[in-house]
Structure 1
Amino acid sequence: MKRILVPVDFSEESMNAINAAHSLAVDTDSDVLLLHIVEDPNIETMKVSGETHYDPMDNIYVKLLLDKTREKLEAIVNDPKMRDLTINYKIEIGNPFTSIAENIASHDASLIFMGSKGATGLQEVLVGSVADKTVRYATCPVIVVKGACEIKNVKDIVYATDLNEDHEQIMDDLKEMQSHFGAKLHVLKVFDSMWTTVPEVKKRADEFVN
């Protein structure tokens, strides 16, 4: 594990994600990149009006927002609690999901930590959100943090899979985490018994594990 990416919006949930990433980064000697996306409200307006030369940096509001954002990120990076790891930040103007996806690739992220709302249930939290899209389409593992936690002493990892053979990179990442923690890896396949049988699924699962 080399780089952990943490999208930050300064909410309590994203701060929980930073703290969780910190605990794992120190334990695995990884560096952390904080990513904040500034959504310029004028971009969509410009698209509708047909303007093709709009530069968000010409917007005074955006400039002030960037300055304030930079101050907040500097405060996090320079916090004495962060002295024991390599941590940097990046600010972009654009669409949150698109920017996250691009930064996964450009910074070769090994893992993503993201915050979610706490007590409303995972499905309600994720569906239709940036976290949902990131979980679905990210090219590296995503850990969605639901509250304050430290990623230490992990004993069990549950991997929900469709048992296809195109998961080689995911399995490599999971095995690295499993090896680091000395954890047990559980492979979970959920299926509809109307379309297949238990023996068929068990056979596929055995082949997958082997």
Structure 2
Amino acid sequence: MELPILNNFLVPVDGGESSRRAKRYAVALAQKCGAKVILFYAHGQISGRIGGEDRQKVVQKNLEGIDKVFAIYEDGFKEAGVEFETVVASGEPSEAIIKAACEHNCGMIIMGAKGQTGMRKVLGSVASKVSSTSPIPVLVVGTECDCTNSCGKECMWKWRFEPVPNLQEKCCRQ
């Protein structure tokens, strides 16, 4: 089996907490690998019943919302010194994510475990669809613990477990 080249990561974002967790993971991994991150947002198709000027208004409103979403993430990448770019596409999110990852020659897709709620929850999660159909490796970032630093220091007391030796040595021996 050939391992992927980790020079580009695609990080789908929606402004939710799960994509913020994925962003934090992508920042750390990109720093270690010297990789570039593609921040990606997929917006759904606009109904064919909306036309003319109303359609343009809907598109403009979507683009303004997307800019606000990207702004949440961009500062973190700039502070960390990680190269990134933003990409927007329309279409069904899981298909658009996979297509963008292929087009941008990404070695991995890094995404949060939970995204939007409502009908998407009923139909199945985007992360589940992407991970089951993508030819590119997908890293799904789950929930984080509630402790102030996620090294396990407080978790030893809260969850009654010991960190794996040397795995968290740098963080836990401060």
Q: Normalized against structure 2, the TM-score is what?
A: 0.67
User: How big is the shift at 1:71?
Assistant: 3.0
From 34, 37, 40, give the equivalent of 2:39: 34
Q: 1:107 is matched with which residue?
A: 104
User: How big is the shift at 1:80?
Assistant: 6.7
Q: 1:23 is matched with which residue?
A: 28
Amino acid at match of 1:89: T
Higher relative contact order (CA 8 A, sep 6+): 2
- Mapped to 2, the partners of 1:145 and 1:95 lie a distance apart of 21
Find the structure with the greater CA-based Rg: 1
Unaligned runs of 5+ in 2: 1-5, 116-120, 152-166, 168-174
User: How big is the shift at 1:91?
Assistant: 1.2
Amino acid at match of 2:131: V
Deviation string 1:115-155 (CA, Å, 9 cap, x unpaired) is: 1139xxxxxx8x832211211111121111112489x9xxx
User: How big is the shift at 1:37?
Assistant: 0.9
**1:8/1:56 Cα in 2 relative to 1: closer, same or farther (>3 Å)?**
farther
User: How big is the shift at 1:14?
Assistant: 0.8
Q: 2:61 is matched with which residue?
A: 64
From 76, 79, 92, give the equivalent of 2:89: 92
**1:139/1:79 Cα in 2 relative to 1: closer, same or farther (>3 Å)?**
same
Unaligned runs of 5+ in 1: 119-124, 153-180, 182-210
Aligned partners of 1:104 and 1:139 also within 8 Å: no
SS in 2 for 1:19: helix
Amino acid at match of 2:22: A
- Mapped to 1, the partners of 2:66 and 2:28 lie a distance apart of 24
Q: Normalized against structure 1, the TM-score is what?
A: 0.56
**1:30/1:136 Cα in 2 relative to 1: closer, same or farther (>3 Å)?**
same
**1:75/1:16 Cα in 2 relative to 1: closer, same or farther (>3 Å)?**
closer
- Report the count of equivalent residues: 138
From 138, 145, 153, give the equivalent of 1:142: 138
